[in-house]
Amino acid sequence: MIYNRAMAYTSLYRRYRPDTFRDVIGQDHVVRTLVNQIKSGNIGHAYLFTGTRGTGKTSVAKIFSRAVNCLSPEDGSPCGKCEVCRALAEPSNFDILEIDAASNNSVDQIRELTDKINFPPTTGRFKVYIVDEVHMLSKSAHNALLKTLEEPPEHAIFILATTEVHAIPATILSRCMRFDFRLVPLKKIEERLRFIFDDNGVKCTDQALRMIASAGQGSVRDALSVADMCVSYCMGDITYEGVLEVLGTSDPVRLTALADDILAGNVDGALTKIAEMSDLGKSMSVLAGDLASLFRNALYVKNCGNAAELLALPAELFAALKEIAGRYDTRRLLAALRKMTETEGEFRYSTQHRILLEAAVIAAATEPRAAETGGAGIKELEQRVAALAKRVGALPKQGFEPAPAKKDAGQVWRRVASELTRMGRRMLGIALAECRAEEKEENFTVRVFSESAMQMLGEPGARAAVEEALKASGCTKPLVIEEERKLDEKDVVPFLTDLFGKSLDIK
Ligand SMILES: Nc1ncnc2c1ncn2[C@@H]1O[C@H](COP(=O)(O)OP(=O)(O)O)[C@@H](O)[C@H]1O
Ligand SMILES: [Mg+2]
Ligand SMILES: [Zn+2]
């Protein structure tokens, strides 16, 4: 149990990078074509891999670049045993070059690379260049790359990978064989997670597993990051409640009850539930997002025959949605969804998140009645809202008040996490939620102790996003990120002996 906790510090998605095509899940269409090329020896000079992050682009590029060189590929995959495979497994080899265009995007760096391309490979048949995030190259760097793509030497293969295919110039697109990586189906992610958990002796209930898999939203890497956080959070066996807490997702039972109140026009009940959730420390902007996705999902259930498949939700959540979808009509659900998404946008300009959410909920709960009763009804409605607002002591009489002067750093940080979610960086928000924050005189310091969080922060644009989120959360001090000492597998024994003394017997 304790051993698992320490293990979690080496991120799962790095330990479980597939080494062969057999281990790649959910990309059968890509794998089949590449394997056939290896088998027939009919290999191209330029490939473009596109698709959402964490769906296997880099992994497949690495496998392919070893497979084209392997002396005796096994079913199209690198054997891992021959001298070439062994040489190419060394990160210092000269034949497989990985370039991250996000950090090496200048024309000089591309020139340097393309200058060297004329030298033949040192170990295998091919020199393979993997250019990750190729859309980040500057215009002149693109042109330099294009020149090489036009007339590559026989021994060169380019694999370009990108999440933003629309940002790739047509001149480059037209020279590449293109492979679109798909979102990985929930079932496949579940199977992979189960395999990885079993491999590590981690127990996890089916319900919890499903929740982790669906949090990845089709990205294996994101699902594995969530799994990582759950392993360290739960310190052993992973429970459904633990996963919900890691994800910061609202308890589905409460959330469904709240949605039901809103749709039924029960303002009183809805405000009481919001108050309870607020007292529990629930972020109001996250709650607004959760409500919006619930209404959206209910609309799917109501209007799409294959909603179960599309939404890929745990069974009991789906059943609750079905009930809601059955009780209310599409117009009603749509109105509630509109109100919530509208409000989500406003969170960035306000620090009074609870008030904002309450106002939106009241509006959503009473909307159709206002429309039905016309002008006179609105007056009555306003009075009702004012009376209610007074009772919960929340709504100020006029407009929104400025931010309260004193906030504790934890609160600010939680807001940063939900702000990141709002900015479309949900994984980053989740990963950073468990960091420790401290507001100092001269800066806002955040201590990060998970490797996956640190890794995510290192991604292009991540730090800038956190800085923006911090500003939006009302803190103007500069952001300082400190990394806590990582615990590696080799550190586990000293860590445990530290904790329990030398007598401890670890297998
Ligand atoms: N299709 C997949 N099959 C198995 N594992 C995957 C797949 N896609 C991603 N992963 C996991 O996520 C990690 C990151 O994947 P990566 O290939 O770098 O994705 P991308 O380049 O598309 O962002 C891998 O190390 C692996 O653990
Ligand atoms: Mg990648
Ligand atoms: Zn080999």
| E strand spans, 116-261 | 127-132, 156-162, 177-180
Identify whether residues 361 and 465 lie together within a single domain: no
Q: Ligand 1: does its nearest atom lie under 6 Å from the Cβ of 163?
A: no
Residue 449: give the domain boundaries. 409-489
Q: Is 398 contained in some domain?
A: no
Q: Is 376 contained in some domain?
A: yes
Identify whether residues 86 and 174 lie together within a single domain: yes
Identify whether residues 357 and 437 lie together within a single domain: no
pLDDT band at 224 (very low <50, low <70, confident <90, very high): very high
Identify whether residues 31 and 174 lie together within a single domain: yes
Q: Is 286 contained in some domain?
A: yes
The chain-wide mean pLDDT, for the chain, equals: 82
Q: Is 10 contained in some domain?
A: no
Q: State how far the alpha carbon of 426 is from the alpha carbons of 32, 286, 467, in Å.
A: 32, 10, 15
Q: What is the CATH number of the domain that holds 471?
A: 3.30.70
Identify whether residues 33 and 175 lie together within a single domain: yes
Cβ burial of 349 (10 Å; 0-12, 13-18, 19+) is: exposed
Paired residues of 128 in beta bridges = 96, 157
Beta strands 444-448 and 436-439, pairing class: antiparallel
Identify whether residues 204 and 169 lie together within a single domain: no
Identify whether residues 34 and 158 lie together within a single domain: yes
Q: Name which of 177-186, 313-322, 405-414, 443-452 the model is least confident about.
A: 405-414
Q: Is 502 contained in some domain?
A: no
Q: Name which of 243-252, 380-389, 418-427 the model is least confident about.
A: 380-389
Q: 0.75 cut: is pTM over it? A: no
Paired residues of 483 in beta bridges = 448
Q: Is 60 contained in some domain?
A: yes
Angle formed at CA 112 by CA 178 and CA 129, multiple of 5 degrees: 30
For residue 49, give the ligand 1 atom closest to its CA: 22
Q: What is the CATH number of the domain that holds 130?
A: 3.40.50.300
Q: Ligand 1: does its nearest atom lie under 6 Å from the Cβ of 18?
A: yes
Q: Point out the domain boundary residue: 367, 392, 417.
A: 392
Instruction: Give the Cα separation of 507 and 492 in Å (integer).
Output: 12
Q: What is the CATH number of the domain that holds 382?
A: 1.20.272.10
Q: State how far the alpha carbon of 144 is from the alpha carbons of 101, 151, 165, in Å.
A: 13, 12, 19
Q: Point out the domain boundary residue: 363, 392, 421.
A: 392
pLDDT tens readout for residues 338-367: 999 888 888 877 778 888 999 999 999 987
Q: What is the average pLDDT across 150-167?
A: 93
Q: Is 83 contained in some domain?
A: yes
pLDDT(264) > 70: yes
Query: Which of 34, 64, 220 should be mutated for ligand 1, with most atoms under 8 A from CB?
Result: 220
Residue 56: its pLDDT value, please? 97
Identify whether residues 31 and 176 lie together within a single domain: yes
Residue partners of 127: CB distance under 8 A and separation at least 6: 94, 95, 96, 97, 117, 119, 120, 121, 155, 156, 157
DSSP 174: T
Identify whether residues 159 and 66 lie together within a single domain: yes
Query: Which of 34, 65, 193, 221 should be mutated for ligand 1, with most atoms under 8 A from CB?
Result: 221
pLDDT(38) > 70: yes
Q: Ligand 1: does its nearest atom lie under 6 Å from the Cβ of 50?
A: no
Q: Ligand 1: does its nearest atom lie under 6 Å from the Cβ of 26?
A: yes
Q: What is the average pLDDT across 64-76?
A: 96
Identify whether residues 466 and 341 lie together within a single domain: no
pLDDT tens readout for residues 431-458: 787 678 888 888 998 888 777 778 788 8
Domain count, the chain: 4
Is 444 strand, coil or helix? strand
- Residue closest by Cα to atom 25 of ligand 1: 17
Q: Ligand 1: does its nearest atom lie under 6 Å from the Cβ of 25?
A: yes
Q: What is the average pLDDT across 254-264?
A: 93
Question: What is the identity of the amino acid at 269?
Answer: G
Identify whether residues 176 and 211 lie together within a single domain: no
Q: Point out the domain boundary residue: 180, 213, 237.
A: 180
Identify whether residues 156 and 301 lie together within a single domain: no
Residue 384: its pLDDT value, please? 52
Q: What is the CATH number of the domain that holds 192?
A: 1.10.8.60
Within 10 Å of residue 416's Cβ, how many Cβ atoms?
30
Cα of 74 to ligand 3 centre, how many Å?
A: 8
DSSP-derived secondary structure for 310-363: HH---HHHHHHHHHHHHHS-HHHHHHHHHHHHHHHHHGGG-S-HHHHHHHHHHH
Q: Is 473 contained in some domain?
A: yes
